[in-house]
């Protein structure tokens, strides 16, 4: 079983920017990212901009992003 990497909020935001997510708003230490598909479907993710994200938070972000990004493309960024 691959091990989940230790990532900061800023690192996760950079990863998601590579997959066409755009920042739509920020409030305090949390940023909202959104991706809109050609058919109009929207996916919004809220990312805490902490120095190190909890493993559970990181897994939740990964699972939510999988709705619009193929696992084989996203997995190398989140797992060792």
Asked if residue 48 lies in contact with residue 67, where contact means CB atoms within 8 angstroms, the answer is no
Q: Which tokens go with 47?
A: 């990312």
The model scores a pTM over 0.85: yes
Residue boundaries of the structural domains of the chain: 9-68
Q: How far is CA 43 from the centre of its chain?
A: 11
**What are the pLDDT tens digits along the chain (80 aa)?**
689 999 999 999 999 999 999 999 999 999 999 998 888 888 899 999 999 999 999 999 999 999 889 999 999 999 99
> Domain spanning 9-68: which CATH class is it, in words?
alpha beta
């Amino acid at each position: 079983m691959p091990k989940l990497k230790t990532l900061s909020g800023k690192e996760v935001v950079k990863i998601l920017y590579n997959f066409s997510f755009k920042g739509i708003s920020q409030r305090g230490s949390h940023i909202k990212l959104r991706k809109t598909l050609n058919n109009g479907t929207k996916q919004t993710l809220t990312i805490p901009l902490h120095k190190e994200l909890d493993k559970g938070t990181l897994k939740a972000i990964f699972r939510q992003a999988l709705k619009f990004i193929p696992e084989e493309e996203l997995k190398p960024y989140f797992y060792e």
